[in-house]
Amino acid sequence: MEMNFSSWNTHCWVSRRLELVPGHPFIQRVCHECGRAFVDEYLTGQRYAIHVAIFKLHRLSDQVTSRWLSEQCPADLLVADDADRQTRFIPKATGNAMPPSPTATANALNAVRNTEYVKGILGQNAPPQPRDTSASSS
**pLDDT for res 52:** 86
Using an 8 Å Cβ cutoff, are 21 and 98 in contact? yes
What single-letter DSSP state applies at residue 40? E
Return d(Cα 61, Cα 91) in angstroms, integer.
Answer: 10
For 86-110, what is each residue's pLDDT tens digit? 988 877 654 545 555 555 555 555 5
Total-model pTM: 0.58
Alpha-carbon 93 to chain mean position: 22
For 7-41, what is each residue's pLDDT tens digit? 899 999 999 998 888 888 999 999 999 999 999 99
**pLDDT for res 100:** 52
Query: What is the mean predicted confidence (pLDDT) over 57-73?
Result: 92
Of 68, 74, 100, nearest to 4 (Cα)? 68
**pLDDT for res 119:** 45
Neighbours of 83 (CB within 10 A): 10
For 112-133, what is each residue's pLDDT tens digit? 444 444 444 434 444 444 555 5
